[in-house]
Amino acid sequence: MPMLIYEAVQATPVQFVGFWSCRYGYAEEELYDDNIEHELTEKRILDLYRWKNGGPLSARKKSSVQRNFIERRMELQQLSPGIQAGDFLARFLNGGAIWRIFWLHCWQPRRFPIYDQHVHRAMAFLQTGAPEEIPSYDPHKINSYIAKYLPFHATFNGFGDQPRIVDKALWAFGKFLNEANFPTDLS
């Protein structure tokens, strides 16, 4: 029987990302890897949202992806590559906050990181030492992504050419915080 002792260790961002990114595991990762940073065809968009969903899309979710993203994918060509996240998300108002943010990521994955409950939890814990869940109200999720998460993610600028490794580390850590039974009070 393995006996474990939990010990918090201060780490640099490089050490943190190295440790936690190795603990990342998500179903059907190839759906993401094979489709991101390629032309956003209908099939690729469906595969990316299937990955984001963690499995097959229900008829309702597939219809939402079709209506809010696939049918509007040509609008991406009309956007300035330097558009701000808030302006992009104001243009794509439907489909739910997290999926709209993922749409932004699909369009410019190196510029706009993925945002979800796990990375939000990781951010909050790293900033305050206390667990915090993602806001439940969609406008608050959008505001949290723009005002808090984008600046926070930018602090990992040493990974400029590999922003996905930061996403993986934060996701794995945030998921761990949610599932693990360990003390979060580090004082």
Q: Where are the domains of the chain?
A: 13-178
CA-CA distance, 14 to 160, in Å (whole number)?
Answer: 12
pLDDT at 89: 98
**130 close to 138: Cβ distance less than 8 angstroms:** no
In the predicted model, what is the mean pLDDT of residues 145-160?
Answer: 91
Number of residues that this document lists for the chain: 187
- What confidence category does residue 163 fall into, taking pLDDT thresholds of 50, 70 and 90? confident
What number of other Cβ atoms are within 10 A of residue 99's Cβ? 19
Q: List, for residues 125-141, the tens digit of each pLDDT value.
A: 999 988 899 999 999 99
What number of other Cβ atoms are within 10 A of residue 48's Cβ? 24
pLDDT at 7: 74
In the predicted model, what is the mean pLDDT of residues 67-91?
Answer: 97
